[in-house]
Every structure is written in structure tokens, then in C-alpha cells.
């Protein structure tokens, strides 16, 4: 175990946590982890000055999980985060590290989702609560004792919380917690407001300060594509059509994803294989050898399974799933662009992962350019180019070797050489679409709330934003009014978020709410006409994804 986990074994963490660390592919603790884990495990208060991207989530998640008692079905640790996106990211990290700890439950508490299930999860004994301050205060108003058993508090990105105006909420939360708790505060900067909080609420805290090192990957051309999670496989297949690659490695997070994606690639005729932790060493070696000698062109791998993989002919890296931290990203894409060769790295980014993209850009010191799915014309050109390249070497001596056979077949069939050539092309291309109309039908449908990367650029002959907003999607049902909010897909909003917030704060029955349409920069919601002004007043201070809902009647004239 010590050999496999390197420096992590020195912390004497719970063996089940160490096993989870192995599964994520971590090999050595980062600087913030090296310094923070022993302090937090010892139960001391701490101030950590570190940027996002330094591995600070694991720096507090691992020692806190070590201190959790799974037998106690009550909240034991509270992590406060400034935004819904960060809260979800932290909760996911805790779930990953707790995978092999039976009985440990994590709940994420944030605005824009129904309060009932959140409070139920806390009352049912979730030991780890990851929350945004505003929504947690809403819960405290319903049950002021909900945090009475918490003995570990972490303030993640405390400076951001103050910038977002959560100071009063933090004070309410501090009062609701036991005074004997351990408090850990992480902040990129330490302005006077943060120092004041530390003086009031931390006991003799130890200080840890980490300078972020910029990691450069200048030899590799980097790009990202904004895409919804359920479109990833179709996006990968579209990108492969136009990418001119020799060998390629794709990174995903789970073993099952390696199998699913490799299977989808094989079904499309690619020479692909999966590489994950369940694959025996001799099989792993065969896969790598096949990638080296050209029997395979694509390997779909998890981080841990790709350790030590060094194949010179790899020209492309696809990050199909976002890595857990920037260091993993740099490590992944470093498998291409070696020995002076060109390399290309593509990253698929879902709407809620845009924050991590920004972190990656900051840590690497490079902008990761946005690309779009290839259009039908680009796919058609790529397919014809591949067909041309495969046929060109055969043409030189084809007439001398098969000319007589051509004459006989055209005579026997009673067709022209052109008709016979077209029939043979149809057979050779095995039903592949080779017209613009046919390729358009193959392309995945883009939903209303597609990320900006899936939308066509606005040009002079397209309607402007005002025209798009004035376009009424469907007639209104009798007794309903259409309302508008400036929150849309680019804010990470989905229809279910709006539905949950309105149901929870407005006190409506589900059937009272009609169609919800989420566009990129705004959303439309159908609400009952009867009592609408009173309802809008009730929803006045409602927040979704950390932002004010601000619903108003939508005028379509």
C-alpha cells in the first residue's frame, strides 16, 4: 500500500480513503495537501492561503473523512462554498474519496433546488454537508438545531463569499455551530475582512501559504468544446471525423465509461480499446503494444490506468471528462507533443464545468481556445478526403490489372463504367452518408439551452437578440401568463432548477406551472394569471444558482 500511494501513506489515513486516492490516480500529495492534512487531522484550526487548482479540496476532504464516524448518523462536517457550482464540485470530491467508506453520506445544499429533499438528507444522517451560505440559512430558519452536531467547519474560498455579500449569513451560521468545533478557512487572499473573521471565530490557527506555480504546456495546441454531458459521445464521433490524428488517447473518469466509449468507437469502425484498473497487466501491455505498432489507433483510459503510458505516435489527447484538477490536466495532455512533435489536446466542457476551465487556463498560463462541432460541409469534406486518400494508391495500376474484368462486368451487367464505379463506391463506403442532407440528419440535435459553443455565430442576415426574444414559442394556455428571468443556460440554469425554486418559494402545486423554456441568456416560465403579482412579489428574493431570479411578466408586443 505504501509503495502504491507514495507520500499519502505517510499521513496514516484510513485505509479505505487511501484506496480511493489510488483509484483517482493521485500519486504524490500537492504542497497544500502535504502541509494541511497533518494539521487538520490533529484537530487544529487552520488558515490556508491557496488558489483554486492547488489541490486544496483533497487537502481538507481527506483528513475530514478520516475523522468522520460512519456509525453516527448525524452531520459531523460542514463545508461552506460561495457558489452552487463549487458546492457541487466539492460534494462530488467528497463522494469520490468516500466511495469505499460504507455508511458515509454527503449532501449538497444550494439554492435553486427544492429544500425538502435537502433537509430530509440532513435529518436522515448525512455526515458531510456541503452548502452555500444563503440556502443553509434558509434551512436554519426552519430548524435552528440542524448544525448542532457539526464538529468540523471548512470555509472554502472565504474571500469569494465576502465578495458575494455572505458576511451576515456567515455570522448566523457561526452562531448555530458548537463553539468547540474545528474551523478551517481557505482563501486566495487575506484581506482585513477575512483576518477579522479568523480573529473572532478561529482558535490559535496555524497558517499555511502556498504559491501557485504556473505550469506551461506551450508545445501542445489546446482547445475546448462546450457540450452537454449527454452529447459527449456524439461530439467525440463528430470531432474524430475532422481531426487528422495518428494515435489518440481519450480520458474519462470511470471504468464503465472506458468500456462504453470504446464500444461506441468500435461500432463506428475505429480501432479502439479500453484501458482501466480492472484490466490485467498482460492485457494492458498488449493494448499499449497495439497502440505503438498501429493495430490500435485509440485508447480510452482512466487516469490511474494510463500511468506510465508513453507512446510516441500519440498526436491527440481528448479529455472527454474534465480532470479533477489542473495538475491532472497537464499530466494528461503531456502524453502528446513529445520530442519536438506537434500535439493537440481537446477538452469537452459541460456548462457547470466552465469554472474549472478558467482554473486550468490560470494554472497553465494559457488560453484554451473554443472550437465548435464541425458542420456538415466539414464532415463531408473530411469523408471525401479519406476516401480519396484510400483510393489514390490503387489507381496507378488498376487498369492494367483489372481493366479486362471491368469490360466483362459492364458487358454482363449491361451498364456503363460510371454506373459500375458508383455501385462499387456505394459498397466500399458501406452506407456512409456522403451528401450534405444525409450528414445533417446524422448530427445530434442541439437543445434550446445548448452551451454557446453549439450555437451558430450571429451574422447580419440572422435575427438579432430582440427578434429572438419576441418570438413566442407556443400559444399560451388559458389562465396562464408568461414570465421572464434574465437567467439562462450560460448561468448554468436548467428547467428543473427553475421549477424547484418556484415550487419551493412560491408554494405552488406542480400542475400550476406550465411550460419552462431555457434559452442561453434568459428563460420563460408559464405561471397562473390569477394572483400573479402576489406570486412575483413572493419570489422577489428567490435565488437560483447563486443569482436573483427576478421574474417579471413577459410582454410579447
* Tens-binned pLDDT, residue by residue, of the chain (557 aa): 333 445 788 898 999 999 888 777 676 788 889 999 999 999 999 999 886 666 788 999 999 999 999 999 999 999 999 888 788 889 988 998 999 898 999 999 988 788 888 888 888 889 999 999 999 998 898 888 889 999 999 999 898 888 788 888 999 999 999 999 999 999 888 888 888 899 999 999 999 988 765 565 667 889 999 988 888 988 898 899 888 888 999 999 888 889 999 999 998 889 999 998 788 888 888 998 899 999 999 999 988 777 767 788 899 999 999 887 777 788 888 888 765 567 899 999 988 888 888 888 887 888 899 988 877 787 778 777 877 877 788 887 888 888 889 888 888 899 998 888 888 888 877 767 777 776 766 655 443 334 433 333 333 333 333 333 333 345 677 788 889 898 888 777 888 888 888 887 787 777 788 888 888 778 889 998 888 888 898 888 788 877 888 898 887 54
Name which of 84, 83, 30 is nearest 60 in CA terms.
Answer: 30
Euclidean distance between CA atoms 128 and 284, whole angstroms? 37
User: What is the edge-to-edge ordering of all strands in the sheet holding 106-109?
Assistant: 106-109, 128-131, 77-80, 152-155, 182-187, 46-49, 206-209
C-alpha cell of 173?
A: 451560521
- The matching CATH number, chosen from 1.20.120.420, 3.90.870.10, 3.40.50.300, 3.80.30.20, for 2-209 is 3.40.50.300
Question: Who's near 334: CB < 8 A, 6+ residues apart?
Answer: 217, 220
- pTM score of the predicted model: 0.52
Look at phi and psi of residue 235 and say left if phi exceeds 0, alpha if psi is from -120 to 50, else beta.
alpha
Same fold, 2-209 and 452-553: no
Question: Who's near 263: CB < 8 A, 6+ residues apart?
Answer: none
- The verdict on domain 452-553 having CATH code 3.30.70.330 is yes
Q: 220-376, what's its fold?
A: Rossmann fold (3.40.50)
User: What pLDDT is attached to residue 163?
Assistant: 79
**Domain locations along the chain:** 2-209, 220-376, 452-553
Amino acid at each position: 500500500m505504501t509503495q502504491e500511494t507514495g507520500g499519502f501513506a505517510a499521513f496514516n489515513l484510513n485505509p479505505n480513503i487511501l484506496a480511493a486516492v489510488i483509484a483517482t490516480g493521485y500519486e504524490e500529495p500537492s504542497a497544500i495537501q502535504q502541509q494541511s492534512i497533518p494539521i487538520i487531522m490533529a484537530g487544529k484550526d487552520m488558515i490556508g492561503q491557496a488558489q483554486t487548482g492547488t489541490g486544496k479540496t483533497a487537502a481538507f476532504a481527506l483528513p475530514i473523512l478520516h475523522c468522520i464516524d460512519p456509525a453516527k448518523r448525524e452531520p459531523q462536517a460542514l463545508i461552506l462554498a460561495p457558489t452552487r457550482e463549487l458546492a457541487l464540485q466539492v460534494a462530488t470530491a467528497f463522494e469520490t474519496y468516500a466511495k469505499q467508506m460504507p455508511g458515509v453520506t454527503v449532501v449538497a445544499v444550494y439554492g435553486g433546488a427544492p429544500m425538502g429533499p435537502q433537509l430530509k438528507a440532513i435529518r436522515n444522517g448525512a455526515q458531510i454537508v456541503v452548502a452555500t451560505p444563503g440556502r443553509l440559512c434558509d434551512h436554519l430558519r426552519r430548524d435552528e438545531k440542524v448544525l448542532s452536531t457539526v464538529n468540523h467547519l471548512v470555509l472554502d474560498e472565504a474571500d469569494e463569499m465576502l465578495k458575494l455579500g455572505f458576511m451576515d449569513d456567515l455570522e448566523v451560521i457561526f452562531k448555530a455551530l458548537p463553539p468547540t468545533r474545528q474551523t478551517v478557512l481557505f482563501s486566495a487572499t487575506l484581506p482585513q475582512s477575512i483576518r477579522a473573521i479568523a480573529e473572532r471565530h478561529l482558535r490559535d490557527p496555524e497558517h499555511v501559504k502556498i504559491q501557485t506555480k504556473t505550469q506551461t504546456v506551450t508545445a501542445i495546441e489546446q482547445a475546448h468544446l462546450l457540450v452537454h454531458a449527454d452529447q459527449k459521445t456524439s461530439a467525440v464521433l463528430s470531432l474524430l471525423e475532422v481531426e487528422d490524428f495518428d494515435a489518440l488517447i481519450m480520458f474519462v473518469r470511470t471504468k464503465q465509461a472506458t468500456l462504453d466509449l470504446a464500444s461506441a468507437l468500435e461500432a463506428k469502425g475505429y480501432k479502439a480499446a479500453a484501458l482501466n484498473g480492472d484490466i490485467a497487466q498482460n492485457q494492458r501491455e498488449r493494448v499499449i503494444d497495439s497502440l505503438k505498432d498501429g493495430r490500435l489507433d485509440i485508447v480510452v483510459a482512466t487516469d490511474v490506468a494510463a500511468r506510465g503510458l508513453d507512446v510516441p505516435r500519440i498526436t491527440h489527447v481528448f479529455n472527454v471528462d474534465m480532470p479533477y484538477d489542473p495538475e491532472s490536466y497537464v499530466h494528461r495532455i503531456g502524453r502528446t507533443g513529445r520530442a519536438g512533435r506537434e500535439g493537440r489536446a481537446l477538452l469537452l466542457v459541460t456548462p457547470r464545468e466552465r469554472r474549472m476551465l478558467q482554473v486550468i487556463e490560470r494554472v497553465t498560463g494559457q488560453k484554451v481556445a473554443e472550437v465548435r462541432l464541425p458542420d456538415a460541409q466539414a464532415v463531408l469534406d473530411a469523408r471525401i478526403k479519406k476516401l480519396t486518400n484510400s483510393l489514390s494508391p490503387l489507381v496507378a495500376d488498376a487498369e492494367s490489372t483489372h481493366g479486362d474484368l471491368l469490360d466483362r462486368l459492364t458487358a454482363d451487367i449491361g451498364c456503363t463504367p460510371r454506373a459500375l464505379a458508383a455501385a462499387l463506391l456505394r459498397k466500399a463506403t458501406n452506407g456512409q452518408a456522403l451528401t450534405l442532407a444525409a450528414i445533417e440528419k446524422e448530427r445530434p440535435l442541439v437543445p434550446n439551452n445548448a452551451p454557446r459553443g453549439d450555437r451558430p455565430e450571429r451574422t447580419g442576415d440572422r435575427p438579432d437578440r430582440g427578434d429572438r426574444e419576441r418570438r413566442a414559442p407556443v400559444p399560451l394556455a388559458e389562465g396562464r401568463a408568461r414570465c421572464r428571468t434574465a437567467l439562462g443556460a450560460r448561468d448554468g440554469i436548467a428547467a428543473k432548477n427553475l421549477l424547484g425554486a418556484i415550487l419551493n418559494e412560491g408554494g405552488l402545486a406542480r400542475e400550476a406551472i406550465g411550460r419552462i423554456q431555457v434559452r442561453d441568456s434568459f428563460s420563460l416560465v408559464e405561471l397562473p394569471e390569477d394572483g400573479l403579482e402576489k406570486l412575483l412579489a413572493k419570489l422577489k428574493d428567490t435565488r437560483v444558482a447563486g443569482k436573483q431570479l427576478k421574474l417579471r411578466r413577459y410582454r410579447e408586443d
